[in-house]
Amino acid sequence: MKYSTTLLLASILAAPAFAADAQIGDKERIDQLLEQNRMLSAQNARLAEQCERPKTKEEAFALCMQAARGDKGAMATESVSANCRLLLK
């Protein structure tokens, strides 16, 4: 029941977005996609610059701990955290 309710709600919320996409012309859609591509390319350039920049041990540890926070299980988070601590040594 919960799944079907969620699916129904999602379809109701998405319907106006699909209708809006159908109403815009090809030129507008292409312009939107070009703008989105430009923004994503700029973001990729920023991320590549961050990756290439040398990091201190503290920065590497902080990034590692942020990644550990994304894990689902407590044991996985603890395991990744233990490996992050090795970066400080």
Residue 6 identity: T
Residue with tokens 């041990």: 57
The predicted-structure confidence for 53-72, as pLDDT tens digits, reads as follows 777 888 887 877 777 776 56
The predicted-structure confidence for 32-56, as pLDDT tens digits, reads as follows 999 999 999 999 998 888 777 777 8
DSSP secondary structure of 1-42: -HHHHHHHHHHHHHHHHHHHHHHS-HHHHHHHHHHHHHHHHH
Has this prediction a pTM greater than 0.85? no
Give the distance from CA 45 to its chain's centroid.
16
